[in-house]
Amino acid sequence: MFATIFKRELMLVYRRRSEWVHPLAFFVIVVSLFPLGLTPGPQTLKLIAPGIIWVSALLASLLSLEHLFRSDYEDGALEQFVLLPYPLAAVGLAKVLAHWCVTGLSLCIASPMLGIALNLPSDSLKVLMLSLLLGTFSLSLIGAIGAALTVGLGRGGVLIALLILPLYVPVLIFGAGAVDLSAHGLDASGQLYFLAALLILALTLAPFAIAAAIKVSLE
């Protein structure tokens, strides 16, 4: 069942190409706006690069979340998911996983290019990718709670940001922290372990919150 839903979601996301192309383009454009706004030298750029890339990835992931449950809500598929003799939390997890496989991974793959553009040392590009790999999945899981809560509202856009951004802070701190440490030539494994721990926590708790939120929205 999990695999069926996962495949369905993957196919849907792939067919609605704008859903993952737009956040990716947003990510690249926002990152490239910062050097234009700050006109920094290569040293300053290296200092602020981890923060810029991480904040942009966070906003891009937020942007992509709005559509996570919207179309299923509109065509009634979400109600059918609730009626399935299968835990709603698992359905939610399958949807988030499929969504992340397309949006989160594409951010992750694009990130080294942006790292190079922002003058990050080549050693820390690996850490950047790894931190985004672990971090964006947590972001998707946490953000899905907000998306599920606001799916019944016509205008979720700004509200979902208000709900979710404070909850994103730990992931941002450890993600940008890991890249920052590695950019200074230090060992970033501690921060990466924290990211992994946050991911596991989100993976265990968030599906239940998503399920509760979907049920509230469908009442």
Partner 1 sequence: MWNWFHRLASPRDFFRIAGYWIPWLGSLALLLIIAGLYLGLFVAPPDYQQGESYRIIFIHVPSAWMSLFVYIVMAISGAIGLIWRIKLAHVMSICSAPIGASFTFLALATGSLWGKPMWGAWWVWDARLTSELLLLFLYLGVIALYHAFEERRTAERAAAVLAIVGAVNIPIIHYSVEWWNTLHQGPTVSKLDAPSIDANMLIPLLLMSLAFMIFYKALLLFRARYEILHRQQRSQWVTQYIKTL
Which residues contact partner 1 (rule: CB under 8 A)?
A: 145-146, 149-150, 152-153, 159, 162-163, 165-167, 169-170, 173-174, 177, 194, 198, 201, 205, 209, 212-213, 216-217, 219
Q: How far is the CB of 8 from partner 1 (least distance, A)?
A: 26
DSSP letters spanning the chain: -HHHHHHHHHHHHHHSTHHHHHHHHHHHHHHHHHHHHH---HHHHHHHHHHHHHHHHHHHHHHHHTTTTHHHHHTTHHHHHHHSSS-HHHHHHHHHHHHHHHHHHHHHHHHHHHHHHTT--HHHHHHHHHHHHHHHHHHHHHHHHHHHHHTTSS--HHHHHHHHHHHHHHHHHHHHHHHHHHHTT---HHHHHHHHHHHHHHHHHHHHHHHHHHHHHH-
Residue 62 or 110 having the CB closest to partner 1: 62
Q: How far is the CB of 181 from partner 1 (least distance, A)?
A: 12
Residue 47 or 105 having the CB closest to partner 1: 47
Residue 19 or 72 having the CB closest to partner 1: 72
Q: How far is the CB of 58 from partner 1 (least distance, A)?
A: 14
Q: How far is the CB of 7 from partner 1 (least distance, A)?
A: 29
Q: How far is the CB of 112 from partner 1 (least distance, A)?
A: 25
